């Protein structure tokens, strides 16, 4: 099903490698093939920048909706099902998708599997996805810090020696790469989790993201079964994500619900928001002082009679 994607990834990787060879890199060196993977990762992330910006805009829209979300929580705090329905209704009316935070990651996974499959075929000596037998042999023997790009930690010493590598050194490099991969995965997820917690406390994916964050170091264990070339891709991707999030997150939101009122949070324009704002800001009626009417006090009969005699 994904052969078309494997062919695209293989084609792009080969052409990047060819371009690096024309500027002076040894085509059979690990640096030429390693930089090809790094360049492929950067190109993919550049294509996804608009999607990441859209994700940030969605998070800020949800931040502006917090006053309305708070009212919904207070109103339906004893009815969880109705609470979720009203929240999703509000998201739909405003055109906001709280699951947008997972979309960039989901789109990266097919490219990851494609690169993994291409490098696995190279490690097995199969000339597929645009690779010729000569390119397969060149990629197999290319090494960075004495670790061949096609090497895996789970390979036997004989397999590693067939690539011209020292097994102990190669495995030590792979373990270090796995530690870096797990560490950068944890840092990128924690960075994203902190920001999303501040901006989207009602994000239904928050709990899942938190669990994934604490499981991130375990990704390093999965790296033991990955080729070195895939580890290069993963670490490059994580470093790009960290830099991109730091650059965008350091800029505060331009407006908040406190500054814009409910008009910014209203889904269909400012009329409803302004109406709500007027209701909230309308002065309370001032209670007028009560005027008490006092009736003249009745004089006793004896006193009235005395007054009449004097008159």
pLDDT digits (tens, 9 = 90+) for 272-295: 443 344 444 444 444 445 555 555
Distances in Å between the alpha carbon of 154 and those of 217, 220, 243, 302? Answer: 19, 13, 32, 122
Tell me the backbone φ, ψ of residue 143, rounded to 5 degrees: -140, 145
**In the structure, what pLDDT confidence band is assigned to residue 101 with cuts at 50, 70 and 90?**
low
pLDDT in tens, 17-52: 999 999 989 999 999 999 999 999 999 889 888 888
Mean pLDDT of 243-271: 52
pLDDT at 169 over 80: yes
Rounded CA separation 207/129 (Å): 39
143 by DSSP, 3-state: which?
strand
Structure tokens at 287: 């209670």
Domain membership flag for residue 105: yes
Quote the number of domains for the chain: 1
Which residue range(s) make up the domain with 46? 2-249
pTM exceeds 0.85: no
Residue-level length of the chain: 311
35 by DSSP, 3-state: which?
helix
Distances in Å between the alpha carbon of 270 and those of 49, 97, 274? Answer: 30, 21, 6
Helix (H) or strand (E) holding 41: helix 30-47
Q: Which of 74-78, 110-114, 137-141, 198-202 has the lowest mean pLDDT?
A: 198-202
Question: How do the residues of the chain divide into helix, strand and coil, expressed in percent and rounded to 5?
Answer: 70, 0, 25
Domain membership flag for residue 104: yes
Q: Is the CB of residue 172 less than 8 Å from the CB of residue 151?
A: no
The mean predicted confidence, pLDDT, of the chain is: 76
Domain membership flag for residue 254: no
pLDDT in tens, 178-194: 999 888 888 887 776 76
Q: What is the pLDDT of residue 251?
A: 60
Q: Which of 136-150, 212-226, 296-310 has the highest mean pLDDT?
A: 136-150
Q: Which of 1-15, 52-66, 80-94, 200-214 has the highest mean pLDDT?
A: 1-15
Q: What is the pLDDT of residue 297?
A: 59
Q: Which of 49-63, 269-283, 294-308 has the lowest mean pLDDT?
A: 269-283
Tell me the backbone φ, ψ of residue 144, rounded to 5 degrees: -120, 120
**CB-neighbour burial class of residue 244 (10 A; exposed 0-12, middle 13-18, buried 19+):** middle
pLDDT at 267 over 70: no
Mean pLDDT of 154-174: 91
Domain membership flag for residue 290: no
Q: What is the pLDDT of residue 299?
A: 57
Q: What is the pLDDT of residue 51?
A: 80
Mean pLDDT of 230-248: 87
Q: Considering only CA atoms, which of 44, 59, 60, 176 is closest in space to residue 105?
A: 44
**In the structure, what pLDDT confidence band is assigned to residue 136 with cuts at 50, 70 and 90?**
very high
Q: What is the pLDDT of residue 295?
A: 54
Rounded CA separation 189/201 (Å): 16
Q: What is the pLDDT of residue 197?
A: 53
Domain membership flag for residue 87: yes
pLDDT at 125 over 60: yes
Domain membership flag for residue 277: no
296 by DSSP, 3-state: which?
coil
**In the structure, what pLDDT confidence band is assigned to residue 113 with cuts at 50, 70 and 90?**
confident
**CB-neighbour burial class of residue 146 (10 A; exposed 0-12, middle 13-18, buried 19+):** middle
pLDDT at 121 over 50: yes
Domain membership flag for residue 237: yes
Domain membership flag for residue 305: no
Q: Is the CB of residue 98 less than 8 Å from the CB of residue 204?
A: yes
Q: Is the CB of residue 34 less than 8 Å from the CB of residue 232?
A: yes
DSSP per-residue codes, 243-287: HHHHHHHTSPPS--HHHHTHHHH-TT-SHHHHHHHHHHHSPPPPP
Rounded CA separation 16/135 (Å): 13
């Amino acid at each position: 099903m994904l052969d078309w994607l494997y062919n695209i990834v293989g084609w792009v990787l080969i052409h990047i490698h060819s371009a690096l060879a024309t500027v002076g890199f040894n085509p059979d060196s690990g640096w030429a093939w390693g930089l090809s993977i790094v360049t492929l990762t950067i190109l993919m992330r550049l294509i996804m920048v608009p999607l990441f910006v859209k994700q940030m805009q969605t998070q800020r829209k949800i931040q502006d909706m917090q006053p309305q979300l708070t009212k919904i929580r207070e109103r339906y705090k004893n009815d969880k099902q109705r609470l979720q329905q009203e929240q999703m209704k509000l998201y739909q009316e405003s055109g906001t998708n709280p699951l947008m935070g997972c979309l960039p990651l989901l789109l990266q996974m097919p490219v990851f599997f494609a690169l993994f499959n291409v490098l696995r075929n190279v490690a097995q000596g199969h000339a597929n996805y645009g690779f010729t037998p000569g390119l397969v042999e060149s990629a197999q023997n290319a090494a960075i810090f004495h670790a061949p790009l096609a090497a895996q930690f789970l390979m036997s010493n004989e397999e590693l020696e067939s690539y011209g590598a020292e097994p102990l050194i190669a495995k030590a490099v792979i373990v270090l790469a796995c530690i870096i991969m797990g560490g950068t995965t944890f840092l990128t997820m924690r960075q994203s989790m902190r920001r999303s917690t501040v901006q989207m406390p009602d994000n239904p994916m928050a709990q899942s993201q938190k669990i994934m964050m604490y499981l991130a170091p375990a990704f390093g264990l999965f790296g033991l079964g990955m080729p070195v070339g895939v580890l290069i891709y993963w670490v490059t991707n994580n470093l790009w994500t960290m830099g991109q999030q730091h650059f965008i997150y350091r800029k505060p939101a331009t407006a908040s619900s406190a500054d814009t009122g409910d008009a910014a949070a209203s889904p269909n324009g400012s009329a409803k928001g302004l109406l709500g704002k007027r209701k909230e800001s309308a002065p309370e009626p001032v209670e007028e002082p009560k005027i008490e009417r006092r009736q003249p006090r009745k004089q006793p009969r004896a006193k009235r009679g005395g007054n009449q005699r004097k008159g």
